[in-house]
Amino acid sequence: MHAFIFWGFCVLAIRTISAFAEGFSSTSMDWFVNSSVGTVYLYAKDAFVILVTIMVLYAAFRRAVLRPKRVDPSMEAYLVLLLIFILMITDMSMDAASAVLGEKVAFNGHILAGMLAGLSNHGLQLIYNISWWVHVVTILVFLNLLPGSKHFHVITAIPNVFFQKLTPEGEIANVENLEELFDTEDENIPVGVSAITDLSWKQYMDLYTCTECGRCHEFCPTFLTDKPLSPKRVNDKLKHFLYDHEKEILAGKGAALPTIIGNVLSEDEIWDCTTCGRCETACPVFIENIPRIIDMRRKLVMVEANFPSELQQAFTGMERNGNPWNIGMSKRFEWADGLDIPLMAEVENPDDIDVLFWVGCAGSFDDKGKKIAIAFAKIMQKAGVKFACLGEEEMCCGDHARRAGEEYLYQTLAQQNVEVLNGYKVKKIVTICPHGFNTMLHEYKAFGGDYQVIHHTEFIADLVKQGKITLNHEVAKKITYHDSCYLGRHNGIYDAPRDVLKSIQGVELKEASLNREKALCCGAGGGRMFMEEDRGTRINHKRLENIMESAEPEEICTACPFCMTMLSDAANETGVENVTTRDLAEIVLEAMD
C-alpha cells in the first residue's frame, strides 16, 4: 500500500512540475505531452492516479476502522492522506475539463468528460483553473509540512536505501584506534553514543527516514513480550529530540544538551535488545537499529562502567579465563576426553588436517553444549575428516562482549585468537556456534583473520551430499527446526539444516509459523544469555509457545548451543513435557550407522 502511494506520488510529480511550469513560467510542456514518451506517461500517470486514490481511501479506512496495533492514531496522517487525495482528484478534474476542451489526455479525462459535457468553454476553463490552483496550493502545503513531520521520509527514503550498509548483515563495525581514544585527559571520551551529536550522519538520516509504520516493533521479540524496548518508539523519541533541539544542534551547542541515555531513552530500552535483527529485515527503508544500540552500550560499559551486574561475571570470565562462565582454562578441552582428538600444537604440518574445529565456549563448558561438540566430533571421525582443536589456546570469540558493549575486551580476545590461528596457518574453520561463526567470518578480518568459516550444519549437509556419512537409522519423530538469528537472519543459512533433516528416515519436518527470515529470537543474543530477564514475558517462553502451538512437534532441532539452552529451559520452566530439544548434530549421529 505504502509503495503504491509513494511511487504514484513520484509518477504524478512530472504532471505537477508541468502544472507549475504552466502557471509560473513561459516554458510549455506541450513538447513532452505530444511526444510518444509523453503519451505513455499520460496513461501510466492515469493508472497510478486511480491506484493511489484507492490506496488512500483504504489507508484511511484501515486507520479509522481496522486500527492495526502497530499503527498509532495520528491526525497528521489523516491530513497527509487528505492532501494526497486532493492531488488525485484535482488531477482527474483538470484532465476531464481538458478532454472536453479537446486537449490531449489519457483515459481518466475521457471517462470523466461526460460529467462536464454540458458546460460552456468558460465553465470548463473555470473548473480547470480552480483545480489547478487547488492542486498547486496543496503541493505547497505538503512541501511545508514535510520537514517537520514524519512524512519527511518522502525526501529521505530513497537516499537512505541507497546508503544502506553493504557489509554483511551480521557484521558490527570496528572501533578503530580504541587505545588511543582512551589515552586522553578529556572526561568526554569519544567512544560510543551518549549525546545526540555523537550519532553519525547515517544514523541521523535513519531517524528522519522512519515512517513510523510499526513493522519493526510488530516483530521485535522484546516488544512482543511487553518490554520497554520498541525500535519504532526509540526512533520516534530520538527524532523528536532532534526536532525539539534543532537550533542548539545547528548552533554547535548539541553537546551541552541532555544526554540520550536516561533522558530520551531508558537504560532498560538499551539493554533489552537481543540484536536479533528482525526489526532491520522488517524495515522497508533499511533503518539500522542494532549499531546504534551497541554504540550506546559501549558508552555505558566502557566510559561510565554502568551495566547490569550479571554481566560483570561474564566480562571477568572472558578476561581471566577466556570464557563467560569464568571456568578455568585447564577444563576447556575436558569435553573431548576419550575421543582421541589431536590439538593443533601436536600437528606437525597444518596441511595434514582438513579443518580446525572451533568448539566455542558453550561447547567446551556448558553441559548441553558439550553434547553437541561430542556428537559433531564423532560425525567427523566417522566421515574420515582430519581435524584438530586448539584446546586451551582457544579463547572466547568475543561476540557477547562486543554486543554487550565491551568493545575493548572483544578486541583483546579477537587479537589473541587471530594471533593463535595465524600462527598455525589456519585457513578453514568449522564451528557449532552461530555467534562464533558470524564473528570469525565477518569481524576477525579487521584484525588480519581472513578464514573460510563454515557452520557445522552446512558441513554436515556437505558430508551427506558427498556420501561420506549415511543416515540409515530411522528417527521417527515430528521435528521443528528453530532458526538461530545469527545463522539465519544474519547469514542467510536456512536450507542446509532442513535438507539434512529431510534426508533422515522417519523425520516429519514441521515448520513453526514464525520460521526462516521471520523466525522469533530465543532471547540469548546481544549478551542477553548472561543477563536476567525480569521485564515482561520471557522471550524463550514466547518462542516455545509459538513453536508448540503452530507446529506441535515431538522434538525441536536447534543449530546453536545458546538456542538449545534457552528452548530446553523454557520447556522445563513452563512444564512442557511432550517435547525434547536437541542439536542437529545429535540427531544426525543417532541416524548414522
Q: What is the DSSP string of 520-550?
A: PP-S-TTTGGGS---SSS-HHHHHHHHHHHH
Whether pLDDT at 301 is above 90: yes
> pLDDT grade, residue 29 (50/70/90)?
low
The rounded distance, in Å, linking the Cα atoms of 218 and 278 is: 10
Q: Indicate the residue type of 246.
A: E
The rounded distance, in Å, linking the Cα atoms of 385 and 428 is: 13
> pLDDT grade, residue 478 (50/70/90)?
very high
Whether 360 and 322 have beta carbons less than 8 Å apart is answered as no
**pLDDT reported for residue 4:** 76
Position of cell 553514543? 193
Q: Indicate the residue type of 262.
A: G
Cell representation of residue 512: 513453526
| Nearest Cα to Cα of residue 398 among 390, 388, 408, 384 | 408
| Tens digits of residue pLDDT in 149-175 | 777 888 898 899 999 999 998 999 999
Position of cell 569435553? 335
Please state, rounded to an integer, the average pLDDT across all residues of the chain. 91
What single-letter DSSP state applies at residue 343? B
| Tens digits of residue pLDDT in 245-273 | 989 998 888 888 999 999 999 999 999 99
What single-letter DSSP state applies at residue 452? E
Contacts of residue 221, Cβ cutoff 8 Å, sequence gap at least 6:
274, 276, 278, 520, 521, 523, 539, 542, 543
All CATH 3.40.50 domain ranges in the chain, comma separated: 464-591
Following DSSP, what letter does each residue of 368-391 receive, concatenated?
A: HHHHHHHHHHHHHHHTT--EEB-G
**pLDDT reported for residue 27:** 66
Following DSSP, what letter does each residue of 212-279 receive, concatenated?
A: ---HHHHH-HHHHTT-S--HHHHHHHHHHHHHHTHHHHHTT-GGGSPPSBTTTB-HHHHHH-----HH
| Tens digits of residue pLDDT in 547-580 | 999 999 999 999 999 999 999 999 999 999 999 9
Q: Is 524 exposed, middle or buried (0-12, 13-18, 19+ CB in 10 A)?
A: buried
Q: Is 366 exposed, middle or buried (0-12, 13-18, 19+ CB in 10 A)?
A: buried
R_g of the chain, CA atoms, integer Å: 29
Start-end of H helices in 424-517 = 434-438, 456-465, 495-502
Percent of the chain with pLDDT over 70: 97
Cell representation of residue 284: 522497508
Cell representation of residue 488: 539465519
Pairing relationship of beta strands 387-388 and 452-455 according to DSSP bridges: unpaired
Whether pLDDT at 348 is above 80: yes
Cell representation of residue 61: 479506512
Whether 306 and 192 have beta carbons less than 8 Å apart is answered as no
| Nearest Cα to Cα of residue 455 among 425, 497, 414, 489 | 497
Contacts of residue 211, Cβ cutoff 8 Å, sequence gap at least 6:
2, 150, 153, 157, 284, 285
The rounded distance, in Å, linking the Cα atoms of 381 and 583 is: 18
Whether 72 and 25 have beta carbons less than 8 Å apart is answered as no
Name the residue with higher pLDDT: 166 or 148: 166
Fold topology of 161-168+175-303? Fumarate Reductase Iron-sulfur Protein; Chain B, domain 2 (1.10.1060)
What single-letter DSSP state applies at residue 431? E
The rounded distance, in Å, linking the Cα atoms of 328 and 358 is: 18
| Tens digits of residue pLDDT in 416-442 | 999 999 999 999 999 999 999 999 999
Taking residues 478-484, report their average pLDDT.
98
pTM of the model: 0.88
Taking residues 67-96, report their average pLDDT.
83
Whether 555 and 479 have beta carbons less than 8 Å apart is answered as yes
> pLDDT grade, residue 222 (50/70/90)?
very high
Whether 488 and 494 have beta carbons less than 8 Å apart is answered as yes
Q: Which CATH code, of 3.40.50, 3.80.10, 3.30.750, 3.40.1560, is assigned to 464-591?
A: 3.40.50
| Nearest Cα to Cα of residue 525 among 484, 581, 476, 578 | 484
All CATH 1.10.1060 domain ranges in the chain, comma separated: 161-168+175-303
Whether pLDDT at 91 is above 90: no
Whether pLDDT at 205 is above 90: yes
Whether pLDDT at 107 is above 90: no
Whether pLDDT at 23 is above 80: no
Cell representation of residue 13: 510529480
Contacts of residue 118, Cβ cutoff 8 Å, sequence gap at least 6:
none
Contacts of residue 407, Cβ cutoff 8 Å, sequence gap at least 6:
175, 178, 191, 298, 302, 401
The rounded distance, in Å, linking the Cα atoms of 295 and 98 is: 57
Q: In what order do the strands lie in the sheet with 555-558?
A: 507-509, 477-481, 555-558, 580-583
Lowest mean pLDDT among 9-13, 137-141, 465-469: 9-13
Taking residues 1-30, report their average pLDDT.
75
> pLDDT grade, residue 186 (50/70/90)?
low
Taking residues 348-355, report their average pLDDT.
90
The rounded distance, in Å, linking the Cα atoms of 290 and 231 is: 9
3-state secondary structure 123-154: HHHHHHHHHHHHHHHHHHHHHHHHHHCHHHHH
Contacts of residue 144, Cβ cutoff 8 Å, sequence gap at least 6:
none
| Nearest Cα to Cα of residue 470 among 588, 342, 390, 306 | 588
| Nearest Cα to Cα of residue 547 among 555, 559, 538 | 555
Measured from the Cβ of residue 143, the count of other Cβ atoms closer than 10 Å reads: 11
What single-letter DSSP state applies at residue 439? I
| Tens digits of residue pLDDT in 356-413 | 999 999 999 999 999 999 999 999 999 999 999 999 999 999 999 999 999 999 999 9
The rounded distance, in Å, linking the Cα atoms of 247 and 361 is: 50
